[in-house]
Structure 1
Amino acid sequence: MKLHVIGSSSAGNCYLFTDNGGNTLIVECGVRFEIIKRALDFDLSRVAGVCVTHEHGDHSKGVAGAVNAGLDVWATAGTLRAFGYKSYRFNPMKIGQAYHIGPFAVIAFDTHHNTTEPCGFLIRHPEMGTTLFLTDTTYCDYRFPGLTNIIIEANYSEDIIDRTLSDKKFLRDRVINDHMSVETCISTLQANDLRKVNNIVLIHLSDRNSDAKQFQQMIESATCKTVTVATAGLTINNFNVTPF
């Protein structure tokens, strides 16, 4: 399995999971769809579908382009309604139910974000095992057994945001009420069984309120796992069920 990051910030989020047969699952569609098509070499024939966690533009701005290109979009019913238009390409997901999207199995679970019906995903595929995808949430209510890869938000540090937004309480409160801090990220990781985890990928770091190198070192120290900070253009070629 290959993980390719098209974007991982407030400017736009999009991640491509591509198996050895070329089948691709798009998770988040928060960049212009032309950019996604370019990353796929303009070949959409092996795209299994698009999964979106919530309706904010940095996660969904490319959805209309995906639908117009003939791709199925999967999200909670609340998120699909919040897009403001209807399409027969929209597939509502019930929390806790597994959906088979090509060779991928995806389960949505509820998260805590200031949107209609936000969710995270458990994504399963024989090549990569079970991947947790968790973003744009203040915390997570669940523990997940059998994880082999984790993609998780580490948006800000409590120390950094106290400095950068000390005189902007409204902005500070908006961030901490909608996003996961690196401290909460560590607690979330430590609450799960990480013995089989091969990759931890940190996503959606704030430009202003994070420190990528520090966050990577903090989480490596806390988990003793391989930790990568997602940046636009990053590709992890061994996003697999085993490290090899």
Structure 2
Amino acid sequence: MQFSVLASGSTGNAIFVETEDHSFLVDAGLSGKQMEALFQKIDRDMGNLSGILVTHEHSDHIKGVGVLARKYKLPVYANEKTWSAMDSLIGQVPVEQKFTFSMETVKSFGSLEIESFGVSHDAADPMFYVFHQNEKKLVLITDTGYVSDRMKGLISNADAYVFESNHDVQMLRMGRYPWSIKRRILSDVGHVSNEDAAIAMSEVAGDRTKRIYLAHLSQDNNMKELARMSVSQTLESRGIIVGEQFELYDTDPKTPTVLTAI
């Protein structure tokens, strides 16, 4: 199993995951043209995708879903409430390309099993995914206000994580956003801060865990260096030294991470 975080941040999110016989795009939060350019950067053909998995209906996750589904005749998977919320936002998708992926279920595609789980975010029915193949486990978890014990149980001891580290609390509190938006981000249906992300990481990382990608960083309320430092310091305070048990990696709004096998 290989993956690349194609784009991550408030301007658009997309993650590519492939096995020997299937490949999926998780969200397509950029324009169709931008998505095609990102695929060129990792030397992959969008026409070979097995489908698009949607996490929730916010524009930074679905902007390109409709146009890509129509152009490449791709199946699109989302739960019923997300379909209802995004149907009018992505344009017409042929009914034969629309599939329901219910929350807390598993779909099998050859040797690949994809498990969905709910998160706490201000969307219709937001959910993310765990990819399982040949004893390998990849977890994608962003866009959640907190990481519950239930989530921790589902995502524990993965080989790799793409993990939300959205904001620095002080930067957010002192920044230019209206208080209503700050309150939403800080709430249980907003986004996880650097420190809270690290606390959750310390509780779910296991012996198998080798790579954690810091994702969905706010361009106004965070910086890569700050996120990495805050997460590392919080992990160290809980007895985990970055570089010994696992490595931290950056993600970017415009540049894909290297296509990496786990």
User: Do the structures match in fold with TM over 0.5?
Assistant: yes
SS in 2 for 1:132: strand
Decide whether the 8 Å contact of 2:104 with 2:115 is kept in 1: yes
- Among residues 179, 197, 207, which one is paired with 2:191 in the alignment? 179
Which ranges of structure 2 fall in alignment gaps of 5 or more residues? none
Larger fraction in helix: 2
Q: CA deviation at 1:22?
A: 7.1
> CA-atom RMSD, angstroms?
2.2
SS in 1 for 2:200: helix
Q: CA deviation at 1:115?
A: 0.9
Q: Deviations over 1:44-95 (max 9, x none)?
A: 3431211111001100011111321211111211111111256331221222
State whether structure 2 residue 136 is matched by structure 1 residue 129. Answer: yes
Decide whether the 8 Å contact of 1:201 with 1:228 is kept in 2: yes
SS in 1 for 2:260: coil
Change (3 A) 1:45 1:125: farther
Q: CA deviation at 1:175?
A: 1.6
Q: CA deviation at 1:190?
A: 1.5
Q: Distance in 2 between matches of 1:206 and 1:114?
A: 17
**1:44-59 paired onto structure 2 within 5 Å:** 44-59=46-61
Corresponding residue for residue 116 of structure 1: 124
SS in 2 for 1:139: coil
Decide whether the 8 Å contact of 2:21 with 2:110 is kept in 1: no
Decide whether the 8 Å contact of 1:25 with 1:104 is kept in 2: no
Corresponding residue for residue 255 of structure 2: 233
Corresponding residue for residue 36 of structure 2: 37
Decide whether the 8 Å contact of 1:48 with 1:101 is kept in 2: no
Decide whether the 8 Å contact of 2:142 with 2:215 is kept in 1: yes
Corresponding residue for residue 10 of structure 1: 10
Give TM-score scaled by structure 1 length.
0.88
Q: CA deviation at 1:103?
A: 4.6
Corresponding residue for residue 156 of structure 2: 145
Q: Distance in 2 between matches of 1:190 and 1:180?
A: 14
Larger fraction in strand: 1
Q: Deviations over 1:3-37 (max 9, x none)?
A: 33332111111111234x47421111111123323
Q: Which amino acid aligns with 1:46?
A: N
Q: Which amino acid aligns with 2:8?
A: S
Decide whether the 8 Å contact of 1:220 with 1:226 is kept in 2: no
Q: CA deviation at 1:162?
A: 1.8
- Higher mean alpha-carbon deviation, 116-125 vs 29-38, is at 29-38
Q: Distance in 1 between matches of 2:5 and 2:184?
A: 26
Q: CA deviation at 1:156?
A: 0.5
- Among residues 172, 187, 190, which one is paired with 1:161 in the alignment? 172
Decide whether the 8 Å contact of 2:195 with 2:230 is kept in 1: no
Change (3 A) 1:44 1:163: closer
- Among residues 70, 73, 82, which one is paired with 2:73 in the alignment? 70
State whether structure 2 residue 241 is matched by structure 1 residue 220. Answer: no
Q: CA deviation at 1:214?
A: 2.0
Q: Distance in 2 between matches of 1:192 and 1:4?
A: 21
Q: Percent identity?
A: 19
State whether structure 2 residue 101 is matched by structure 1 residue 79. Answer: no
SS in 2 for 1:160: helix
